Amino acid sequence: MNVAYPFSAVVGLDDLKLALLLNAVSPRVGGVLVRGEKGTAKSTIVRALAGQLPAVDTVAGCRFACDPAAPDPSCPDGPHEPGGPAERRPSALVELPVGASEDRLAGSLDVERALTEGVKAFEPGLLAAAHRGVLYVDEVNLLHDHLVDLLLDAAALGTCYVERESVSVRHAARFLLVGTMNPEEGELRPQLLDRFGLTVEVRASRDPRERAEVVRRRLAFEADPAAFAARWRDAEAGLAQRIAAARERLAGVALPDERLEQIAAVCAGFEVDGLRADLVTANAALAHAAWQGRAEVAAEDVRAAARLSLPHRRRRDPFDAPGLDESLLDELLDSTSPGDAPPPDGGGGGGKTPGPPQGPAPSREADSEQDADPSQDTGREQKASPSQDAGGSQAAGPEQDGGPARDAERSMDAGPEGGERPGGGERVAAVAAPHAVPLLEVPGVGEGSAGRRSRSRTARGRVTGARRPAAKVRDPHVVATLLAAAPRQRERGRRGAGLVLRRDDLREAVREGREGNLVLFVVDASGSMAARRRMTTVKTAVLSLLLDAYQRRDKVGLITFRGRTADLVLPPTSSVEAGAARLRALATGGRTPLAAGLARAAEVLRAERLRDPARRPLLVVVTDGRATAAGDVDRAAGPLAGTAGIVVDCEDGPVRLGLAGRLAARLGARLVPLGDLDGIVRAHRGREHGKAA
């Protein structure tokens, strides 16, 4: 028998424990999204929580865990009579694998039997299994968007609907939803982030004593799981009793009008979109008050709830780092408080679970460093600090097109290409806010991962035809099925108005949608690009393309070439914010090893074809076409021929050599002048200046 690691034995992670416990007390809170680096016990603590939830009474034999006191009237296994035979089951812990299909999640109808036999046969999915328990989704950011939508809709409504060709099944699906993710592997869209009730950022403690205690307990658990669990049995029993008592107390907790107005003022003060934040914060404050044993919501309950419900709702741009300014939170609470003040410890207040002392709380230095990191703030001009800029001056922002600062930078440039400074200093150009770009897509029809860029045959999308099924029919094409059966009705001896269908008549729909691609950026960071002060425009254009890749659900990679080498600064990933951070910090200068950049791109694409063969690549080369370092450009371009590509021509000035156009011809790629992208930026900037005037 597998023994779960005790919840009470987890060291630190107080915010995560509190968020999980608030959802255990009140499922109306809406679930928890746990964001954090790998190896921080995210999965361990979620699995441990399931063991603390009270067992549930269910209708005997019901696959949907109906409550015998109030059975679901639309249960597919029903109807059940209230007060009928019952059985007691432990709260379920259901894990949703990343590769799960829609049928596995929501359940599946046997459409063949429905059409040919008139039988409504339904096989329940994971949503039914998780009813009145915990549904755990590890790496939720790697799920297809439509699965995340379906999952969050069920969590919000408490009901799962399965609709297939006029056959409809509905059943209750109320569960505690917990999703975990590593932001380095890609972000959820802000619309999906908003659907999670609470969010917690998890980082490993930097305190050596606390880290040592984590390892000490884990080694003890692995050596003898049963004995370790026995040591924590009393703490676990006390925690389970406290959860059950808080659940019973919740219905009697009052939310005074002044606290409700305080919640509304805090949400308005942080300028969150919509009203979901207000509802979640109110429900979390009620749960926190019940957890603390209070009959009325207090200011500390509102603060604890806001700290967990607002950080992920403040993101308006995919490059924005989540976070919450707690000093602003305190100001808003103080300005609307009817008289009491936030707790002196500045935390959630009493949300810690019972158990022995666990050492000092984790340091928040990493949080403050991330909040202060200017590379995470899209839309503001980024300038190199004196410590980064050996030349002693800062890079000009996009609005600084002339004046003494520009002249000073020009005088500092050295070398024939003007990219490096005396003493080997490097220039880091500023980046403006990203803007819309033209649609770039891979030609043809693929069969890759769902997305929004190129045409693809997918399970979801518009119907473009019908075909004979190779296996069991999942998506029948009713009209094509009827047309196939109609000519055979006389020989089948049809009687009356009924239509006789056979297995051979069935046709399934062929659908076409959109797929996500691998967009590999190859960016020229040499001195020839920086000499004419184009790098700000180039970096802004690439940032705009990165934003476009995020919105279209692509994987992205970034190669830069300068000096004598080409570097893969961002291996292919779904985390475009990591690409944006590396792009902002990109230094320029040196010669132009164009051949090395193309050769490195060929290596990356070759490896990705083996790793993810269904995802078609799109190569985006950003360069002026100059090649001033050793290397045969024609030879390096050979392996890339046939790959869908774009060459963004950055050449400007009165005399143009057309080198980027020649490179595009070698690659068989489409040539896009930088002005086609930059023109949008300039037009937008002109409108902003007009508003300011």
Instruction: Select the more confidently predicted residue: 369 or 545.
Output: 545
What tokens were used for 322? 């989540």
Contact 107, 128 (CB under 8 A): yes
- Token pair 């590890």 is at which residue? 138
47, 174, 276, 315: the active-site residue: 276
User: How do 645-649 and 670-673 pair as beta strands?
Assistant: parallel
Contact 20, 45 (CB under 8 A): yes
Q: What domains, with CATH codes, occur in the chain?
A: 30-202 (3.40.50.300), 252-354+364-370 (1.10.8.80), 404-439+517-690 (3.40.50.410), 455-514 (no CATH)
Q: What are the helix (H) ranges across 362-491?
A: 365-372, 404-412, 478-485
Contact 569, 582 (CB under 8 A): yes
Please tell me the predicted confidence (pLDDT) of residue 373.
38
pLDDT bracket for residue 320 (50, 70, 90): low
Is the pLDDT confidence value at 602 over 90?
yes
Is the pLDDT confidence value at 506 over 50?
yes
276 has catalytic annotation: yes
Residue 588: how many other CB atoms lie within 10 Å: 28
Q: Which of 109, 83, 88 is nearest to 475 (CA)?
A: 109
Mean pLDDT computed over 298-313: 88
Mean pLDDT of the chain: 75
For residue 60, the Cα-to-chain-centroid distance in whole angstroms is 39
Instruction: Select the more confidently predicted residue: 352 or 210.
Output: 210
Contact 132, 65 (CB under 8 A): yes
Kindly report, residue by residue over 421-454, the tens digit of the pLDDT.
Answer: 433 445 555 555 555 666 677 887 877 777 767 7
Q: What is the pTM of this model?
A: 0.62
Distance CA 455, CA 442 (A): 8
